[in-house]
Amino acid sequence: MTGSVVVREGREGDGPSVLRLWDEAIVWLVRRGQPGQWGTEPASTRALSREMVREWETGTSLRIAEIDGEPVGACVIVRSAPDYVPAIKLSETYLHFLVSDRKCAGMGVGAALVRRCADEARAAGCEVLRVDCWADAPTLVAWYTRHGFTASDTFTIGENWRGQVFEMVL
């Protein structure tokens, strides 16, 4: 792939690409010894994950990053944080899901998706863009910091899944 990253709105039919990217990311994370982010089972084999992706591709929140017309990343942006994340008083857009093709690491796929989310949040009049990730993934935590986010709240799901919330003031 030699072209630049282009981000477009998602559309019906993008689901298989999103599931492929997600499955590949899970394999990569497991190989790195980081199964805590999304587990060890492929997203494509989990009914709940397939249902979420189906909702994303038929709604208005999915964005797809492409290089040379090939899907290489995806994200989902929504107007409010999930229930498990501490609420804030500022108007926000929430980056609910972000994945990029590991074969394109270093090509700016994730950064392009974050820029698109920030641009859309600003255009909607939001004061902050927030996102969360598995707090025990130091390289992911560092990635968000390098891309303009500041660590804010933390949360725990279940007995030991620690989440880190980040925010980007717009």
Domains of the chain: 5-169 (3.40.630.30)
DSSP assigned state of 87: P
The interaxial angle of helices 15-31 and 47-58, nearest 10 deg, is 140
Q: Is residue 50's pLDDT more than 70? A: yes
Closest CA to 161 of 36, 31, 33, 29: 36
The closest of 65, 27, 71, 67 to 45, measured between CA atoms, is 27
CA distance 116 to 149: 14
The answer to whether the CB of 74 falls within 8 A of the CB of 21 is: yes
What residues does 92 pair with on adjacent strands?
128
| Predicted model pTM | 0.94
Pair of tokens at residue 95: 């980056």
* Digit-coded pLDDT (tens) for 63-104: 999 999 999 999 999 999 999 999 999 999 999 999 999 999
Distance from CA of residue 94 to its chain's centroid?
A: 10
Task: Read off the pLDDT of residues 18-31 as tens digits, 9 standing for 90 and up.
Answer: 999 999 999 999 99
What digits encode the pLDDT tens for the residues 146-156? 999 999 999 99
For 24, the enclosing helix (H) or strand (E) is helix 15-31
Q: Are strands 150-157 and 5-9 parallel, antiparallel or unpaired?
A: unpaired
Q: Is the pLDDT of residue 1 over 80?
A: no
